[in-house]
Amino acid sequence: TTDRGTDDKTIVRDYFNSTGFERWRRIYGTTAEVNKVQRDIRVGHQQTIDTVLAWLQADGVTTGQTICDVGCGVGSLSIPLAKSGARVFASDISEKMVGEAQARAQQELSNNSSVTFSVQDMDAIAGSYHTVICLDVLIHYPLADAVQTISRLAASSEERLILSFAPKTPLLTLLKKIGEFFPGPSKTTRAYQHTERDIVAALQAEGFAIRRQAMTSTRFYFSRVLEAVRERNA
Ligand code: SAM
C-alpha cells in the first residue's frame, strides 16, 4: 500500500513537533537542564556523531562534496559537516527540529550557505548525493518500513550510505523489558530495535557492502553505525 507506516510516521512527527522537540533539543544541546539519563544519552549520541565525522574526515571531505543528512534533528551532524567544507542538504520531518537546526547553524557557522535545511519526509528524498546519512532515525520505524527507507536512501546515494539503528540483541531485549531503556523516543513513541542481519541484508539488496562499522554503548544509549558503499567501490 502507499500509506505504509502512516501511523508510526504521524505519531513520530507529532512527537518531534511537541514534547519530543523539547526533550531532544535539550539532550542535543549543551545546557545543564538535563537529568542523568538524558545526560548519558547526550554523551552517547555525541560519540556516534564523532565516529561518523572521523570516518568522513579520514576520507577527506572535499569542498563541495554533497551530503544528504536525513532526519537531521537539530543539526548535530550537519553543522560540523558544513564546517568541514561539505555541501550539506539536511532535512527532517519535524518543522520544529528544522527550525532549531537553522537557528543553530546561523549561530555556529560564519557562512551558513553550505548547508540547506528543509522539512521533508525521508521517504520523499529525491536527487542524488555523494553520501547519504541517516542517524538514529530507524529506531522509530518497524523493519518493513526501515527496509523501504533504506531502498529509497540507497537510490539517492552515489557512493556511500551511513546509517545507525538500535541493535536487537538478546541482552538489550532483556534490558528493554526490565526498565526504561531506549527512553529516547519516550513512552509516546515506540522504539524499534533491528537485527544487524536484517539491516545488512537490506543494504546488500541495494548493491551496497559494509565498509566500516562502530557501536556506541553507554548506559542508556545504544547505536550501531554502519558505513556501506556501492559494491563497485567496496
Ligand atoms: N539524526 C539526528 C541526530 O542524530 O542528531 C536526529 C536523531 S532524532 C532521535 C530522530 C529524528 O528523526 C527526529 O528529528 C525526527 O523528527 C526525525 N524523523 C523521524 N521520522 C522521520 C521521517 N520519516 N523523515 C524525516 N525525519 C524523520
Mean pLDDT by 10 residues, the chain (234 residues): 66 95 96 93 97 94 88 98 94 98 95 90 96 97 97 98 92 62 56 96 98 96 97 71
- Has residue 128 been placed in a domain? yes
- Has residue 118 been placed in a domain? yes
Model pTM score: 0.93
Q: Which ligand 1 atom lies nearest to the CA of residue 141? A: 20
The whole domain housing 155 covers 6-233
- Has residue 196 been placed in a domain? yes
How many structural domains are present in the chain?
1
Mutate to test the pocket of ligand 1, among 11, 93, 120, 133 (most ligand atoms within 8 A of CB): 93
- Which set of grid coordinates corresponds to residue 73? 534533528
Tell me the residue type at 42: R
Give the CATH number of the domain where residue 154 resides. Answer: 3.40.50.150
Q: Pocket residues for ligand 1 (CB within 6 Å)?
A: 9, 12, 16, 24, 28, 71-73, 76-77, 92-94, 97, 121-122, 135-137, 140, 184
- Has residue 172 been placed in a domain? yes
pLDDT confidence of residue 6: 57
Through-space distance between the first and last CA atoms of the chain, rounded to whole angstroms: 34
Q: Determine the distance separating the centroid of ligand 1 and the alpha carbon of 64, expressed in angstroms.
A: 24
- Among 11, 48, 45, residue whose Cα is nearest residue 28: 45
Tell me the residue type at 100: E
> Are 115 and 34 within 8 A, CB to CB?
no
Pairing of strands 222-230, 129-134: unpaired
- Has residue 40 been placed in a domain? yes
> Are 100 and 72 within 8 A, CB to CB?
no
Ligand 1 atom 14 nearest Cα: 73
Q: Which ligand 1 atom lies nearest to the CA of residue 49? A: 4
Pairing of strands 157-165, 222-230: antiparallel
pLDDT confidence of residue 64: 74
CA dist 136 to 4, 55, 146, 193, Å? 20, 17, 12, 11
Measure the CA–CA gap between 67 and 60, rounded to whole angstroms.
13
pLDDT confidence of residue 195: 96
- Has residue 1 been placed in a domain? no
| CB contact set of 209 (below 8 Å; sequence gap of 6+) | 203, 228, 229, 230, 231, 234
Mutate to test the pocket of ligand 1, among 21, 136, 137, 149 (most ligand atoms within 8 A of CB): 137
Mutate to test the pocket of ligand 1, among 4, 52, 92, 96 (most ligand atoms within 8 A of CB): 92
Q: Determine the distance separating the centroid of ligand 1 and the alpha carbon of 218, expressed in angstroms.
A: 20
Helix (H, G, I), strand (E, B) or coil at 83: helix
> Are 202 and 146 within 8 A, CB to CB?
yes
Residues in the chain: 234
Q: Determine the distance separating the centroid of ligand 1 and the alpha carbon of 82, expressed in angstroms.
A: 19
Q: Determine the distance separating the centroid of ligand 1 and the alpha carbon of 140, expressed in angstroms.
A: 8
The number of beta carbons lying within 10 Å of the beta carbon of residue 216 is 20
- Has residue 171 been placed in a domain? yes
- Which set of grid coordinates corresponds to residue 232? 563497485
Q: Determine the distance separating the centroid of ligand 1 and the alpha carbon of 206, expressed in angstroms.
A: 22
